[in-house]
Structure 1
Amino acid sequence: MPRLHRACALVGLLLLSQGVLAQKLRLVADAWPPFTDATLLNGGLATDIVSTALTRAGYASEFEQVPWARALLGIGEGRYDVLINAWYNDERTLIGQFSGEYLLNRVRFLKRKDAPIEFNNLQQLHTYPIAVIRGYAYSPEFDNDVALQKIPVHNFAMAVRMLAADRVKLTLEDEYVARHYLARESAKVRNSVEFLPKALSENSLHILVSLKNPEHQKIVAGFDRVIAEMKADGSYARLMKQHGM
C-alpha cells in the first residue's frame, strides 16, 4: 500500500510538472448569440474559441451564463475568472486584464437588394428611415447624429422583416449576429436583403481576466499564445466553420 501511495504521488507530481493539473477557470458571459449562448453548440462561437484556447494553454474551465451587469460585477469581485466577450475600454482595466483580439465585431448596414443605396458617410443616409434596436449603442457618430431617421424596434428580427417589406430602407447589426438570425428567417426575407460593403464601426473582442486571480498575467499570455497557434494550424478556422461563420 505505501508503494501504491508513492506511485500515485509520483504521477501527481509528474502531471503538475507538465501543467496538466491547472486551476479550473470560471468563465462567464451574457446571452449574445452566436457568440455566447448556452443553447448553442459548445456555448456559442466565442465560448468555444475561448474554452478551446484555454484548454490548450493548460486550463480546465466551466461556463456560466448570467446577465451582463452581473458578469462584469463578478469579474470585479473575483467570483469569475474570465469574461468571455469584452470590448476594450479603460474603465474595465481597473477590474481585469484584457487579452489580445481574438474576434472582430463589425457593425454593418443592411438594405434591400433592389435599393440603390450607398454608404461612405452618414450624411448620405439622412433621407432613409433606418430600423434600430431600442436601447442599442452602435457607434458614437451614429448614435449622436440627430439628422438620421431612426425607427426604434424591439429586435433585429423585427428590423430585418420591416426592411424586407420595404417599411424601412436600412437596418444595422453586428455582422455575425445578423448572419445568425438571418439563417433562421424565411428564404423570402433572407434572400431579399444584403449587407452594404463598408462597416459603420469595428470593435475587437477580447477576454477580460479578473485582477483578483493572481495568475491573470499568465492566463492572458497563455491564451494569446494559443490563439496565434490555432490561427496558424487551422483549428481556429475549423471552429469558425463549425459555427457557420
Structure 2
Amino acid sequence: MKSLLLLLLLSPVCLAARQVVLTATEFPPYTSTAQPEDGVMVALTRAAFAQRGLQLRVEFRPWARALAGAQDGRFAGVLALWYSPERAERLFYSLPLFSTTVGFYARCDRPIDVSSLPMLQRYRIGTVRGYKNPDSFEQAGLRGIDADDDLINLKKLAANRLELALMDREVGRYLQEQQLDKTASRLCWQEPAVEAMPLYIGFSKRHPDGGMLQTEFNLGMTMLRQSGDYLRILRRYGVAP
C-alpha cells in the first residue's frame, strides 16, 4: 500500500494538480505575447502538455533572464532554445519542435555573396547577446557585433551600421513587416542559409520536476504527432515542420 501511494505521488496525476511554469522571451513569430496563444511554439507546448493532463503558464522575460531562470531552477524550463553542449550541462533538452532557418539579412540595394563564410570576415555582422550562433558561423572565425535583440540589428543594418545581420529567417521577416519603420531601407534575406537549427524546450536540471516534465512533454508531443494535431497547429501559424 505504501509503495502504491508513493507511485501515485510521483505520477503525472500529482503534477496535474498544478501548472507547469516555463519562461520565454519575445521571439516572434515563435514566442510572443503579440501572437495568438503567445506564438506557435507556446501553442504546441501547451497542446503537448494538455495531452498529459498538465496546464501550461509561460512568463516572458528578456532572454538572458529567461535562460538564467531556467538554468538555476527558478522556472521549470525555457522555450525556444537552440542546442549547445554548454547549455545541455544544465538543461534537459526536449524532442525538437521544428527546425528554423538561420542565415543573413542585408540591405536589398547592397546584396552580399554569403556562399563562403570565411569570405565574410571583413563585414560587420549583427548578432544577439546570449544567442547560440550556428557552429559553421563560429568555425569560420566570424565575430559578431552583439546587440540586445534582432530588431536592433535590423535597424542598424538599415542605417548602414552593419553589412549583415545573422538571425532566423522568419523572425527577420516578421520584424521587418510588423515593427521596422516603413521608411527604412528594405532588407532582404541572403541565400544560401547558414544552417537549419531545431528549436527545443530546455527543462531545468535544478528544478525538482525538470526531468519528469521533459518525459511528460516528449510523450505529449509524440501523441500530438500521431493524432495529426501537430501538423494542424503548424499550418495554423504557417510554419513548416
Q: Give the alignment's TM-score, normalised by structure 2.
A: 0.70
Match of 1:158 in 2: 155
Measured in 2, the distance between the counterparts of 1:105 and 1:27 equals 21
Structure 1: gaps (5+ residues) = 1-12
Q: Structure 1 residues 195 and 17 mapped into 2: Cα distance closer, same or farther (>3 Å)?
A: closer
Match of 2:218 among 210, 224, 227: 224
Match of 1:44 in 2: 39
Match of 2:29 among 26, 34, 46: 34
Helix, strand or coil: the match of 2:58? Answer: strand
Measured in 1, the distance between the counterparts of 2:25 and 2:142 equals 33
Over the matched positions of the two proteins, sequence identity in percent amounts to 23
Match of 1:101 among 96, 104, 123: 96
Match of 1:181 in 2: 175
Question: Aligned pair 1:79/2:74, yes or no?
Answer: yes
Measured in 2, the distance between the counterparts of 1:189 and 1:238 equals 36
Measured in 2, the distance between the counterparts of 1:19 and 1:147 equals 49
Deviation at 1:28, TM superposition (A): 0.9
Measured in 2, the distance between the counterparts of 1:143 and 1:68 equals 21
Deviation at 1:61, TM superposition (A): 1.8
Measured in 1, the distance between the counterparts of 2:146 and 2:15 equals 51
Q: Structure 1 residues 156 and 244 mapped into 2: Cα distance closer, same or farther (>3 Å)?
A: farther
Measured in 1, the distance between the counterparts of 2:12 and 2:31 equals 33
Match of 2:190 in 1: 196
Contact 2:64 2:130 in 1 (8 A): no
Contact 2:107 2:158 in 1 (8 A): no
May I ask how many residue pairs the two structures share in their alignment? Answer: 225
Contact 1:133 1:159 in 2 (8 A): no
The letter for the 2-side match of 1:30 is T
Deviation at 1:117, TM superposition (A): 5.0
Give 1 or 2 for the bigger CA radius of gyration: 1
Helix, strand or coil: the match of 1:36? Answer: coil
Match of 2:202 in 1: 208
RMSD, aligned α-carbons? 3.9
Contact 2:77 2:210 in 1 (8 A): no
CA deviations on 1:162-213 (whole Å, 9 max, x unpaired) are 58xxx976443211211211332578979x6543332213332211222344
Question: Aligned pair 1:25/2:8, yes or no?
Answer: no
Q: Give the alignment's TM-score, normalised by structure 1.
A: 0.69
Helix, strand or coil: the match of 1:37? Answer: coil
Question: Aligned pair 1:63/2:58, yes or no?
Answer: yes
Measured in 2, the distance between the counterparts of 1:17 and 1:227 equals 15
The letter for the 2-side match of 1:82 is G
The letter for the 2-side match of 1:42 is E
